[in-house]
Amino acid sequence: ADTKELPTVIWLHGHECTGCDESFIRSTSPFASDVVLNMIALEYDDTLAAAAGAPFEAHLHKLLTEKKGQYVLAVEGGVPLDDNGTYCMVGGRPFVDVLKECAEGAAFIIEYGSCAAWGGVQAAKPNPTNTVSVSSVISGKKIIKVPGCPPIPEVMTGVIMHYALFGEIPPLDVEGRPKQFYGNRIHDTCYRRPFFDSGLFVEKFDDEGAKAGWCLYKMGCRGPVTYNSCGNLRWWNGLSYPIQSGSGCIGCSEKGFWDNDNFHQRL
Ligand code: SF4
Ligand code: SF4
Ligand code: F3S
């Protein structure tokens, strides 16, 4: 394919663990390699690229000028603001400055993961670095939220593929999330739902109900208040997901999940 025809994607990394990249590269439908090599022109991603250093930063600046108004800006990670943003430095500059510079000429922005979408675990109380979401510092741009810690691989590739194939962003809900992936609660598609409806609950890990696969609501499952695709798509090519592994859902795609009591009781 002629790479000039493919959508240019610039992918930035802020305050984060890089788990979202790890998830993305494990997409099997489509394969991440197909997306990156044939469907988009991923011109800058400082964790996936072979290039590094000053020449790579120069390439970024060339893109910002040459592709102004055309490129997709994918952002992974939150944005620390305290002490002039110095808690996250990229290429010798505070991440918040890099983000603002790159956002200016973006056609639209994708917030990949709960760090970018909501601030993430590093924003947990008392949020010592004052880390916020991308949309807290960028205004006047269309922003797609793709939350999850990390998001499901096929959700990540699905969002960018929608744009690559149709030339437009997918339909979004009121929070800015793609409806096709965030239209249902985990509870709506859960295979343990019949146990919830029958009042059969796990009361303690390893009790008889746990062994029988009953509902994990009383163990703190956040499925009833969490919007994501884990129940239908599952993880690693449909293999499993938290509820199937017996732990319940911690609501990793929801704003502030890191501060809710159920999450802390598990740690
Ligand atoms: Fe890591 Fe979760 Fe943040 Fe993704 S959203 S970078 S997996 S902490
Ligand atoms: Fe709902 Fe969680 Fe029970 Fe599944 S395990 S039915 S998501 S409360
Ligand atoms: Fe996250 Fe809950 Fe899915 S914890 S991975 S949204 S089942």
- In ligand 2, which atom is closest to the CA atom of 223? 7
pLDDT at 260: 86
Whether 20 lines ligand 1, by a CB cut-off of 6 Å, is yes
Of 176, 174, 148, 144, nearest in space to 160 by CA: 144
pLDDT at 236: 85
Q: Beta partners for 93?
A: 90
Q: How far apart are CA 135 and CA 212, in angstroms?
A: 43
Whether 113 lines ligand 1, by a CB cut-off of 6 Å, is yes
Q: What pTM value is reported for the model?
A: 0.95
Q: How far apart are CA 64 and CA 104, in angstroms?
A: 9
Q: Is 88 annotated as a binding residue?
A: no
- In ligand 3, which atom is closest to the CA atom of 152? 5
pLDDT at 129: 98
Q: How far apart are CA 102 and CA 26, in angstroms?
A: 26
Whether 216 lines ligand 2, by a CB cut-off of 6 Å, is yes
Whether 228 lines ligand 3, by a CB cut-off of 6 Å, is yes
Sorted by where each starts, the structural domains of the chain and their CATH numbers stand as 3-178 (3.40.50.700), 186-266 (4.10.480.10)
Q: Is 221 annotated as a binding residue?
A: yes
pLDDT at 227: 98
Q: Is 215 annotated as a binding residue?
A: yes
Give 10-residue mean pLDDT values along the chain (267 residues): 76 97 95 95 94 95 97 98 97 96 98 98 97 98 98 97 96 97 98 98 96 96 97 92 96 95 59
